Structures are given as C-alpha cells and as structure tokens.
Amino acid sequence: MRSSDITSQGWVLVVEDEPGLAEVVGRYLVQAGLRYEHLDDGHDVMPRLKQDLPDLVLLDLMLPGRDGLDLCREIRQMYSVPIIMMTARSDEIDRLLGLELGADDYICKPFSPRELVARVKAVLRRTQHLSKPGQTEDLSSQDERLTVGPLMLDSAQFRVEVQGRILDLTPREFQLLKVLMRHPGRVFSRAQLLDLVCHDELDVSDRLIDSHVKNLRKKLASGWPDAELVQAVYGMGYRLQLPA
Ligand code: CA
C-alpha cells in the first residue's frame, strides 16, 4: 500500500495489481490535486472501505484475490462511492455500467493517464455535490428524460410511466423518483433525500421522506406489482433497485 501525502480536495482508492500502472496513475492524480491510496489485492478492498470512504474508487477488473466485477457489485450494494472500472475487456462494458454492477464510468486499457484523470474529475464533479451537505443537486432541468428499466420520467411533460402506464405523482414524489433514477442502485440517506427533495419545507424530519417514499411505492406498485422498485437499505436509506 502506498499513499500520497498531499492534503487536497479528495482522495481516490486505486485498486490495480500492475505496480507500474498504479504508480503512473497515482502520479497523475497527485498532479491533479487529488490524494490517492493504492491496493493491489482484491481482498483488501472491503476492509479498507470500512475504515473510511474515498471520494472515488478506481477499480481494475482483473485482480488477484477478488475480481473487480465481484468487488464492484459488493461496493455498490453497501456504499454510494463512485466507481470507475479499468478494463481491457470491452465486452464487459454494458454489464459494468448496467444496473447489476452500477459502475459510474469505465476506461479501456491501455489508456492515457491524462484521459483517466479527466474521467475521474468528471465523475467527481457529477457526484461530489451529493455527498456534501448544504449543496443540492439541480433538479430543475426542464428537458430531462430518463429511462431506467420499466420506468420513464419526462421532466418537460412532468410525466412518469411504469411499463407504459402513466402515474399520477405529486411534485415531491416526482423529484424523489428523479433523484433515484439519475443514480440507479446508489443508496441515498434520508438526510440527503430531504436535502434534495424537501429543502424548502419548514417541518422536515426523516419521517417526511419515509411518507413520500411510501406513497411513491404505492403508485409504482400499481404498474409494477412484482417487486419493490424503491428499496429501503437497513440503517442507510433508499435506493432504486431493479429486478435482475
Ligand atoms: Ca489487473
């Protein structure tokens, strides 16, 4: 394990078993003002994440110990930390970004370190405001159209469909679903959801989110009765989870 020691804006966990590549990647991250820590064995990743979470995980696909796909799935089930996969196998890309594994981005080997750092920064920009209290994700975009599994959300028309069936949602439920659909599989705490969806309400408590979720679930179940699309994650919050 090797750490850079520059205090800076964020840190990246680099999981890569080729020492030369890890070193080059680390050097470029430091140049970009990021700290990094390097692990070369898949078995060490979950124990390290338990200590404290990085701002991003750069995860190699083929690793000794545990392979990257398996790790990606487990990390995504437990944490909302963004993941970029590094892979030489372009046939895996759809799965990597799909709902099952839920990586935020990928980069194909061989890559230029400059390109990698650009991807890292882009993902950090996209995700960092979610983890920082007081900053909210912009939910006001008017022309956004999202399709996730059986769900379709159209901001311009204020319209949500589940399997083609139109749902009658309140503005809160609509915003809540929009946040979850933007980041399928990612767990949001009640505090984060309150911040994003109910920031202009005076009487806010965790129960407020629970009641919005409860009503949203009831409406989703009218078009998709087989599985709970919005799942509670015990002790953590909620996420959008589609059946495999
Ligand atoms: Ca490897």
Query: What digits encode the pLDDT tens for the residues 101-134?
Result: 778 888 888 999 999 999 998 888 777 655 444 4
How many CA atoms lie within 13 Å of 108's alpha carbon, on the beta-carbon side? Answer: 6
CA of 118 to the centre of ligand 1 (A): 21
Which CATH number characterizes residue 236's domain?
1.10.10.10
CA of 42 to the centre of ligand 1 (A): 10
Residue 5 Cα to ligand 1 midpoint, Å, equals 25
Up-side HSE of residue 104: CA atoms within 13 Å toward CB?
Answer: 26
Residues 93 and 174 in one domain: no
Are residues 118 and 169 located together in one domain of the fold? Answer: no
Cβ atoms of residues 121 and 104 within 8 Å: no
* Within-domain flag for 117: yes
The enclosing H or E element of 86 equals strand 83-87
Our count of domains for the chain comes to 2
Q: How sure is the predictor about 76, in pLDDT bands with cuts at 50, 70 and 90?
A: confident
Reply yes or no on whether the pLDDT at 193 is more than 80: yes
Report the distance separating Cα 160 and Cα 147, nearest Å. 10
Please tell me the distance between residue 159's alpha carbon and the centre of ligand 1 in angstroms.
Answer: 44
Residue 95 domain flag:
yes
Q: How far is the CA of 88 from the centre of ligand 1 (A)?
A: 9
Of 235 and 22, the structure prediction assigns the larger pLDDT to: 22
